[in-house]
Chain A
Amino acid sequence: GAVVSQHPSWVICKSGTSVKIECRSLDFQATTMFWYRQFPKQSLMLMATSNEGSKATYEQGVEKDKFLINHASLTLSTLTVTSAHPEDSSFYICSAPSATENTEAFFGQGTRLTVV
Chain B
Amino acid sequence: AQSVTQLDSQVPVFEEAPVELRCNYSSSVSVYLFWYVQYPNQGLQLLLKYLSGSTLVKGINGFEAEFNKSQTSFHLRKPSVHISDTAEYFCAVSDRGGAQKLVFGQGTRLTINP
| A interface residues with partner B (beta carbon < 8 Å) | 4, 6, 9-10, 32, 34, 36, 41-46, 49, 93, 95, 97-98, 102-105, 107-110, 112
Contact (Cβ within 8 A) B102 A46: yes
A contact residues around B43 at 8 Å (CB): 4, 6, 93, 107-110
Count, A-B residue pairs, CB within 8 A = 62
Which residues of chain B in 36-91 are interfacial with respect to chain A, using CB atoms and an 8 Å cutoff? Answer: 36, 41-46, 49, 51, 90
A contact residues around B100 at 8 Å (CB): 32, 34, 95, 97-98, 102-105
Overall SS of chain B's interface: loop
What are 13 A-B contacts defined by CB distance under 8 Å? Answer: A34-B102, A43-B106, A44-B104, A46-B102, A93-B43, A95-B100, A97-B100, A98-B100, A103-B32, A103-B100, A105-B100, A107-B44, A108-B43
Contact (Cβ within 8 A) A43 B102: no
Known pairs A49-B101, A95-B100, A97-B100; A44 contacts B90 (CB<8 A): yes
